[in-house]
Every structure is written in structure tokens, then in C-alpha cells.
């Protein structure tokens, strides 16, 4: 009998260890779980997603994606987004704890959302003492935004900001109250691209190759083939 009990206990522990994880969204929109958790669904490929409904269009809310016991959550600082014209917010959670794809945040889980389509984005930063936007990003569709600007060599801090409004911004961990993102520019006049991927919960910056360099590279490949 004792052996049977031990075997059953071991089986239950094993089943618990193999149980599917549970992730939820908590925020101001549901009383941080006090009004009921929004349970995220496993969409495959590392993506978990869920849609909050019945909100007021344009209603802003802070949020986190987490486990029921708060043992794992992201972003590190609260994210913030507004409901779309239908009063909905679709959250995307990528709970992998590290990334090496050149996007940020790279060392922690990512949280994104479907673009509510109610405002644009701009870059604010230490480039000019945070006095005015240095760049307005172009809407590429699908929640993707990008823009290029030539900068002088140096180290800078910046944030992605809702156009004309500090009420919503994105910093280093994609949170609204996150620390400033950072950027190092090697040479005067380097053309820097800023990219923001809302559904992917990620951002990046990089130097745009000069057209002439691209032509020379292509020519070199042709000559090498000959």
C-alpha cells in the first residue's frame, strides 16, 4: 500500500510539473485582477494572446502580463495602451526569457498589443535636451512604425512617445514608466533608423547602410562570382 501511495504521489507531481502554464493580463481595466483575470491563450510559436472587450474607445489602461501568483510578469514597468474604436485591446505575450534577434528588450519576456490606430509615434530624447520631438515615425501598417534621422556621434537616451503626449510612451523594457532607451552613434552624420513593433512588443535602432556602400557590395559580389 505504501508503495502504491508513493507511486501515485510521484505521478501527480510529474503531471503537475508537465501542466500547461497559465498566463493572464492584469491592469487598471480589470482592477489588476480584482475584477477577474483576462486569461491568455496559447497561439503557438511562443505567442500567447487575449482580447479585452467592453471598454470605452480611447480608454487608457496600465497593464502587465503575469502568472496567477505574480511569480513571473512583464514588462518590468507597467505597459500602457488605449482601447481601439471598438472598445477592445488585444494583448500579445511572448514569455521566452531571452532573445537574440537584434530587437529590444532582449533579455526578458516581451509584451505587445494590436495597434489601436488612434495616434502616431515620435522620438523624444537627450539629442536636444528632451525639448521637442526629433523625428515623427511613419506608419508602415500592422502596428509597425519607423523613421530615419542623421545624428552626430555620441551617446543618447530616448523614448518612443505618443505624438504630442507624454501620457503614453515606450522605454527600454517596452513599459510606459520604463527607463530611457539608449543609443550610441559612432560617426557624425550616421543615418539612424528607429523601429517600433507594437504587436511584437519590441523596438530597435540601427545604422542605415549608405546606398553607395550597397552598390559597391553588390558589385563586389558580381566580380567575385566571375
What is the H or E stretch that residue 223 is in?
Answer: helix 211-225
CA separation for the pair 79, 178 (Å, rounded) = 9
166 occurs within a structural domain: yes
Residue 45: alpha-carbon gap to chain centroid: 16
Q: pLDDT, tens digit, for every residue of 156-208?
A: 999 999 999 999 999 999 999 899 999 999 999 999 999 999 999 999 999 99
Domain C-terminal end among 87, 113, 139: 113
Q: Are residues 6 and 107 in the same domain?
A: yes
Q: Are residues 72 and 154 in the same domain?
A: no
Nearest by Cα to 65 from 56, 53, 57, 74: 74
For residue 109, give its domain range.
2-113
Q: How far is CA 182 from CA 24, 155, 201, in A?
A: 30, 7, 17
Domain C-terminal end among 84, 113, 142: 113
Q: Are residues 26 and 91 in the same domain?
A: yes
What is the number of domains present in the chain? 2
Q: Are residues 107 and 22 in the same domain?
A: yes
The reported pLDDT for the residue numbered 18 is: 52
156 occurs within a structural domain: yes
36 occurs within a structural domain: yes
Q: Are residues 79 and 139 in the same domain?
A: no
Q: Are residues 72 and 48 in the same domain?
A: yes
pTM of the model: 0.85
Q: Which residue has the cell 512588443?
A: 201
Q: Are residues 131 and 104 in the same domain?
A: no
Q: Are residues 165 and 128 in the same domain?
A: yes
Q: Are residues 104 and 7 in the same domain?
A: yes
224 occurs within a structural domain: no
Q: Are residues 61 and 30 in the same domain?
A: yes
29 occurs within a structural domain: yes
Q: pLDDT, tens digit, for every residue of 117-169?
A: 988 999 999 999 999 999 999 999 999 999 999 999 999 999 999 999 999 99
The reported pLDDT for the residue numbered 212 is: 57
What is the H or E stretch that residue 76 is in?
Answer: strand 73-82
Residue 11 has pLDDT above 50, yes or no: no
The reported pLDDT for the residue numbered 223 is: 39
Residue 28 has pLDDT above 80, yes or no: yes
Three-state DSSP class for residue 25: strand
The reported pLDDT for the residue numbered 99 is: 86
Q: Are residues 89 and 135 in the same domain?
A: no
225 occurs within a structural domain: no
CA separation for the pair 61, 199 (Å, rounded) = 17
Grid cell, residue 198, equals 507594437
Domain C-terminal end among 71, 96, 113: 113
Residue 213 φ then ψ, to 5°: -65, -35
Q: Which residue has the cell 511562443?
A: 46
CA separation for the pair 14, 222 (Å, rounded) = 58
Q: Are residues 108 and 125 in the same domain?
A: no
222 occurs within a structural domain: no
Supply the CATH number for residue 140's domain: 2.60.40.10
105 occurs within a structural domain: yes
Q: From the CA atom positions of the chain, what is the Rg in Å? A: 22
Amino acid at each position: 500500500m505504501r508503495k502504491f501511495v508513493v507511486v501515485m504521489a510521484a505521478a501527480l507531481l510529474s503531471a503537475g510539473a508537465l501542466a500547461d502554464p497559465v498566463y493572464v493580463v492584469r491592469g487598471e481595466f480589470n482592477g489588476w485582477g480584482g475584477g477577474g483575470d483576462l486569461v491568455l491563450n496559447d497561439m503557438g510559436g511562443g505567442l500567447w494572446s487575449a482580447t479585452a472587450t467592453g471598454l470605452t474607445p480611447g480608454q487608457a489602461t496600465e497593464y502587465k502580463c503575469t502568472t496567477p501568483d505574480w511569480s513571473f510578469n512583464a514588462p518590468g514597468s507597467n505597459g500602457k495602451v488605449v482601447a481601439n474604436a471598438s472598445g477592445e485591446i488585444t494583448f500579445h505575450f511572448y514569455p521566452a526569457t531571452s532573445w537574440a534577434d537584434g530587437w529590444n528588450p532582449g533579455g526578458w519576456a516581451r509584451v505587445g498589443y494590436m495597434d489601436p490606430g488612434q495616434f502616431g509615434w515620435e522620438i523624444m530624447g537627450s539629442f536636444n535636451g528632451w525639448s521637442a520631438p526629433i523625428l515623427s515615425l511613419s506608419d508602415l501598417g500592422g502596428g509597425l512604425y519607423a523613421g530615419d534621422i542623421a545624428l552626430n556621434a555620441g551617446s543618447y537616451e530616448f523614448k518612443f512617445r505618443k505624438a504630442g503626449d507624454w501620457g503614453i510612451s515606450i522605454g527600454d523594457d517596452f513599459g510606459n514608466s520604463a527607463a530611457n532607451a539608449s543609443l550610441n552613434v559612432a560617426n557624425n552624420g550616421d543615418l539612424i533608423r528607429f523601429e517600433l513593433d507594437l504587436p511584437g512588443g519590441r523596438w530597435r535602432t540601427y545604422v542605415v547602410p549608405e546606398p553607395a556602400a550597397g552598390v559597391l557590395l553588390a558589385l563586389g559580389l558580381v566580380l567575385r562570382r566571375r
